[in-house]
Amino acid sequence: MATKLSRCPSTAREVWGLDFPMDSITTRVISMVWGAGAQYNDPKAPAVFTINTQANNRALQWAHDIFWKHRVAAKTNADRGGVDRNTGIFVNGNVAMMVEGTHLIGEWKSKAQADWDVAPLPKGPGGRGERLSMDGYIIPAGVKNRDASWVVMQEATGKEANKMRAEMLGYVPARKSQFESWTKSMPDKTLKNAQVSDEARVDPGSTWPKARDLTAAVNPIWRQLFVDNSINVSDALKQMQDAVAGVLGATAVKVG
């Protein structure tokens, strides 16, 4: 589909079929590689990393080809004529499809100058690759007004608050019971396609052990692969697995 939607020669695209950020292993690109069958952790032992596997090699090569072989996805603002991806798709019209977070839909509703709608992620060998963020509220330990804090927490996360956030701000409600309030707020859009399934996975940057240190160790290698194209997929996976072992120890990695 991205190939069909792209316009002009690959060396001088005027319309890019697809767009999503690929500067970090845990951003939108992870939905694509998850869907293509990538699996960075052992499902039975989430703290064990299985980065250097044939399945991951195939999935990352597929994603890499979208940018560098088929050239149907923009990599930089320069590719999009000097504008960001939101402007590219909703104003300039030089991007046809975009993988993004649903938190931006409320903004698109008010700012988009082009017609748009929501489609489900493509389903591949690994499913739809649905990625969940881990935003939330926190009550600090030792808070002075504990009971009052819990009342605020209850109200902020309740059904009514979720309904108001959906209708007034365009945010996807955290409660499934209020999802219909959100879909009704934009009746001309197919927002039901944005509802996550029970197969959705949490952003690994929120669950990995020593997640900040780990992503800081693997992201430079990731960028060499996807952004700079200065390393091949096989070598990148080997280096990322070594980087994980350097942060968490040799027992944290499993050779596939």
Question: Which tens digits make up the pLDDT trace of 152-165?
Answer: 999 999 999 999 98
Quick check: helix, strand or coil at residue 202? Answer: strand
Q: What is the pLDDT of residues 129-152, one digit of tens each?
A: 999 887 788 899 999 999 999 999
Q: What is the pLDDT of residues 15-54, one digit of tens each?
A: 999 998 888 888 889 999 999 999 999 888 889 999 999 9
Residues 222 and 126 in one domain: yes
At 163 the pLDDT is: 92
Residues 107 and 159 in one domain: no
Quick check: helix, strand or coil at residue 142? Answer: coil
At 105 the pLDDT is: 86
Residues 57 and 121 in one domain: yes
Domain final residue pick, 165, 195, 225: 195
Domain residues for the domain of 144 are: 135-195
Checking 78-87 for CB contacts under 8 A at 24+ apart, the result is: 79/13, 79/16, 80/16, 80/19, 85/19, 85/20, 85/21
Residues 115 and 154 in one domain: no
At 44 the pLDDT is: 86
Residues 167 and 233 in one domain: no
The DSSP 8-state label assigned to residue 201 in this structure reads E
Residues 172 and 53 in one domain: no
At 132 the pLDDT is: 86
Kindly tell me the sign of the dihedral angle through the C-alpha atoms of 11, 85, 6, 225. Answer: positive
Which amino acid, residue 87? T
Residues 121 and 143 in one domain: no
The residues, ordered by sequence, that sit 6+ positions from 253 with a Cβ below 8 Å of its Cβ are: 48, 49, 50, 51, 52, 241, 244, 245
Q: Structural domain tally of the chain?
A: 2
Q: pTM of the prediction?
A: 0.88
Which amino acid, residue 77? N
Within 13 Å of residue 87, how many CA atoms lie on the same side as its CB? 9
Checking 228-233 for CB contacts under 8 A at 24+ apart, the result is: 229/64, 229/67, 229/68, 233/57, 233/60, 233/61, 233/64
Report the alpha-carbon angle 49-52-56, nearest 5: 95
CATH number at residue 210: 3.40.190.10
Residues 31 and 65 in one domain: yes
Residues 140 and 62 in one domain: no
Residues 125 and 152 in one domain: no
pLDDT band of residue 256 (cuts 50, 70, 90) is: low
Domain final residue pick, 155, 178, 195: 195
Residues 205 and 87 in one domain: yes
Residues 140 and 225 in one domain: no
Q: What is the pLDDT of residues 82-119, one digit of tens each?
A: 998 889 888 888 999 999 888 888 888 888 888 899 99
At 11 the pLDDT is: 87
Domain final residue pick, 163, 195, 227: 195
**In whole numbers, what is the pLDDT of the chain averaged over residues?**
91
The DSSP 8-state label assigned to residue 132 in this structure reads E
